[in-house]
Copies of this chain bind each other. A is one copy, B any other.
Amino acid sequence: MNVTIIGATGEVGQSVINALAASPTKFNLTAIVRPASINKPEVEQSKSKGVSIISLELEDNHDALVKALTGQDVVVCSLLPFFPGAELALTSAAKEAGVKRYIPSAFGPSCPPSGVMLIREAKEIVLNHIKKIYLPYTVIDVGLWYQVSLPSLPSGKIDYALKFPATVVAEDGSHATCLTDLRDIGKYVEKVITDDRTLNKYVFAYNEVWTQEQIHSHLEKLSGEKPKRDLVSTKDIEATIAAAQVQYDKSDKSLPFIFGLAGPQYLSCEWFREDNLPERAKFLGYLSSKELYPDFEPIKYVDYVDEVLQGNGKSIYPTRW
């Protein structure tokens, strides 16, 4: 199976490459890397895992893109989904190239398509284009990554592994969300792209369901420390989002302003509104990884927490932002 990855230098791209490169007899891997990213260390690491690298611009480069994608069975896109332009160009090229399955950049929480998260609305633009041109696809969402689920400890001893410490607690901490280890995302992708049942469907792949109170209690028990709970009401998060929206609307819509709005919107979706739960995902049309792959044993959340406390965790996006 010929698989091309776009966004190979990002966290999801690396997870996908790690999973697929482990089966070199099954997958023939290519990464299309934009010239601006070609010197990132992840490109060399991907090469060493047997991934062929093609350096190409995605926008205004239709013919070269069609040529690069011709003969590919699957295209996995894990670009940051804030700017749909590049992915729109990619999907049109994938359609013309006859790609058999396109995995759009999703890999986030289950979330209604509109009115909750700006970033989900940007993804919807790409999804609607995919549907308009009838490009075979599978959406894979994965809930909240383990790697952004833990709060800081007062001692600071786990900060090395927390790019975005989870300090805000929704309401009384009783709200739940679906959690997935970043390292399992590639394994889910491997299952989904080799599974006819998932063609032209949405798949919600998640490891475990935890409340914030359960996460805090577990971390307290293991660490002997008491992480700070920044209790926030739904009303307050809505006010924060409204203020961020005002800033965003009058901004140049560059990344800092996007992040300013996306941050509280993510919290709202994942913890306050509880969109990111199995029954909600089912309502929104997703198949469940638990039903599709009942025998798969993903990384346990308690094992991830042990790893972080033992100093063996790993920060995401270590060199960025």
Contacts and interface: CB of A to CB of B under 8 A. Distances in A.
Interface stretch (A127-135, A142-150, A237-245): A127-135
B200 A283 contact: yes
A116 to B, nearest CB: 6
A227 interface: no
A67 interface: no
B131 A284 contact: yes
A200 B112 CA distance: 13
Contacts of A128: 112-115
A280 interface: yes
Contact of A134 (B132, B200, B280): B280
A282 interface: yes
A154 interface: no
A285 interface: yes
Contacts of A131: 112-114, 283-284
A187 B116 CA distance: 36
A95 B284 CA distance: 16
A282 B201 CA distance: 10
Interface in A37-87: none
Nearest to A113: B128
A contact patch SS:
loop
Nearest to A285: B285
A282 to B, nearest CB: 7
Nearest to A200: B283
Nearest to A280: B134
Nearest to A121: B128
A136 B284 CA distance: 10
Nearest to A127: B113
Contacts of A132: 112, 114-116
Contacts of A115: 128-129, 132
Interface string A190-204: 000000000011000
A283 B134 CA distance: 7
B113 A200 contact: no
Interface string A273-287: 000000010111100
B280 A200 contact: no
A14 B156 CA distance: 68
A128 B125 CA distance: 13
A113 B131 CA distance: 8
A129 B113 CA distance: 9
A250 to B, nearest CB: 25
Contacts of A200: 282-283, 285
Interface of A: 112-116, 128-129, 131-132, 134, 136, 200-201, 280, 282-285
| In the A-B complex, the 8 residue pairs with the closest CB atoms | A114-B128, A112-B132, A112-B131, A115-B132, A200-B283, A113-B128, A134-B283, A131-B284
7 contacts: A112-B131, A113-B128, A114-B128, A115-B132, A131-B283, A201-B285, A285-B285
Given A115-B128, A200-B285, A285-B285, 5 more contacts: A112-B128, A114-B132, A115-B132, A131-B283, A201-B285
